[in-house]
């Protein structure tokens, strides 16, 4: 089922627990990075999921969002979630003899697979942050027995909604969406070595947990066709939306914090797409096809006349 064109390429500044603007099975792909519990201060807005102080409530509070994602996602559509390991903040465990880590990725995975029949874990990628923070985690350094890992990875879980694809993709769209052999080899390696976003990102310093554009780019190219509709239910600074537009997909975003509206608009508007490019290519292909058909029809006529002579 096609999404109403009125809602394509829109951002709704409200909770994604109810995405009533979207029809059932109207989205091809979902890419998001939900809040990192209460470790990060995302905005001054109150009442958002990232403000919940109890960890179990934080995980369960996202289930309505994942249920809505399931509703709007087409059969065989993918839900992609980027999430980290998050050590408990030091003030709560002030001694290096004890430590607890919130495995946000694992707990989100368990909550989805336990509560939403029809979602399956398709794949798991690891984002290795190649330029991690200088805030080293020392533990008992330089002596045993309580060294801490430097927490340089995050997870990218790929869930798939059960069912066969309902749409038929024409050859033109397939060719426009094709990956090179080099991209295929690189993107399907399970560890992605990518840096944390820097000052080149227009939202740098304005959002506390930026997702790299390259993560979104790979996911969009791996799991969607040109013209598909990409949803981000936790739009944040708008990275998913920007990359979707850049790769000639449609986007829909939900973001509860209105203070990110300018940041999101800046990101989206930084991508200038020639709206006539695809149409011109289609016309050119049709012209070539028409010429070929005329030639094919003409040759037999000439051949027959020659034979009659």
3-state secondary structure string, 23-70? CCCCEEEEEECCCCCCCCCCCCCCCCHHHCCCHHHHHHHCHHHHHHHH
What pLDDT sits at residue 309? Answer: 34
Domain check: are 164 and 305 in the same one?
no
User: Do residues 237 and 210 make contact, with C-beta atoms less than 8 angstroms apart?
Assistant: yes
Place of tokens 């059960």: 162
What pLDDT sits at residue 146? Answer: 86
Domain check: are 301 and 183 in the same one?
no
Backbone angles phi, psi at 98, to 5 degrees: -135, 145
Domain check: are 68 and 152 in the same one?
yes
What pLDDT sits at residue 298? Answer: 43
User: Do residues 148 and 137 make contact, with C-beta atoms less than 8 angstroms apart?
Assistant: yes
Residue 223: give the domain boundaries: 5-272
What pLDDT sits at residue 203? Answer: 45
Which residues lie across from 121 on neighbouring strands? 159
Domain check: are 266 and 303 in the same one?
no
Domain check: are 190 and 283 in the same one?
no
What pLDDT sits at residue 158? Answer: 98
The candidate with the shortest Cα–Cα distance to 211, out of 43, 82, 40, 36, is 82
Count of structural domains within the chain: 2
Domain check: are 166 and 192 in the same one?
yes
Which tokens in the block code for residue 1? 């089922």
- Give how far Cα 206 sits from Cα of 41, 42, 260, 278, Å: 11, 9, 8, 34
User: Do residues 86 and 101 make contact, with C-beta atoms less than 8 angstroms apart?
Assistant: yes
What pLDDT sits at residue 200? Answer: 62
Question: Can you say how many angstroms the Cα of residue 16 is from the centroid of all Cα atoms in its chain?
Answer: 15
Residue 165's domain is classified under what CATH number? 3.40.50.150
pTM of the full structure:
0.83
Domain check: are 211 and 222 in the same one?
yes
Alpha helices in the chain, H assignment, sequence order: 55-61, 63-72, 104-115, 171-176, 181-187, 213-223, 239-246, 261-269, 277-308
Domain check: are 171 and 301 in the same one?
no
Give the integer Cα–Cα distance in Å for 97 and 118: 42
CB atoms within 10 A of CB 108: 21
Domain check: are 70 and 189 in the same one?
yes
> What average pLDDT values come out for the chain (309 residues) when binned by 10 residues?
70 96 96 80 52 85 97 98 82 63 94 98 96 78 89 95 95 97 98 83 51 96 98 96 96 94 92 58 52 44 36
What pLDDT sits at residue 151? Answer: 86
What pLDDT sits at residue 279? Answer: 57
Domain check: are 83 and 11 in the same one?
yes
User: Do residues 268 and 241 make contact, with C-beta atoms less than 8 angstroms apart?
Assistant: yes
Domain check: are 147 and 194 in the same one?
yes
Backbone angles phi, psi at 126, to 5 degrees: -115, 125
Domain check: are 131 and 141 in the same one?
yes
């Amino acid at each position: 089922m096609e999404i109403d064109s009125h809602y394509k390429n829109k951002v709704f500044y409200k909770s994604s627990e109810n995405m009533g603007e979207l029809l059932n099975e109207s989205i091809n792909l979902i890419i998001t990075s939900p809040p990192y519990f209460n470790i990060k201060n995302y905005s001054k807005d109150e009442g958002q999921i990232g403000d919940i102080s109890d960890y179990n409530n934080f995980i369960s509070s996202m289930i309505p969002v994942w249920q809505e994602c399931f509703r709007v996602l087409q059969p065989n559509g993918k839900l992609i979630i980027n999430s980290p390991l998050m050590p408990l903040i030091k003030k709560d465990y002030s001694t290096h003899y004890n430590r607890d880590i919130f495995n946000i990725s694992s707990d989100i995975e368990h909550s989805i697979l336990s509560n939403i029949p029809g979602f399956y874990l398709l794949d798991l990628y690891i984002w290795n942050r190649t330029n991690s923070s200088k805030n080293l985690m020392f533990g008992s350094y330089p002596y045993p027995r309580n060294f801490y890992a430097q927490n340089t990875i995050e997870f990218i879980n790929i869930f798939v909604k059960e069912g066969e694809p309902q749409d038929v993709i024409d050859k033109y769209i397939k060719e426009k969406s094709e990956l090179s052999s080099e991209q295929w080899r690189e993107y399907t390696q399970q560890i992605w070595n990518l840096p944390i976003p820097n000052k080149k990102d227009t939202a740098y310093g304005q959002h506390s947990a930026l997702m790299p554009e390259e993560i979104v780019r790979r996911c969009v190219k791996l799991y969607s066709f040109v013209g598909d509709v990409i949803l981000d239910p936790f739009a944040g600074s708008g990275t998913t939306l920007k990359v979707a537009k850049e790769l000639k997909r449609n986007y829909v975003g939900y973001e509860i914090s209105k203070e990110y509206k300018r940041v999101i608009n800046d990101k989206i508007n930084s991508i200038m797409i020639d709206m006539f490019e695809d149409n011109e290519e289609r016309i050119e292909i049709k012209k070539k096809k028409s010429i070929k058909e005329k030639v094919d029809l003409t040759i037999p006529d000439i051949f027959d006349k020659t034979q009659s002579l």
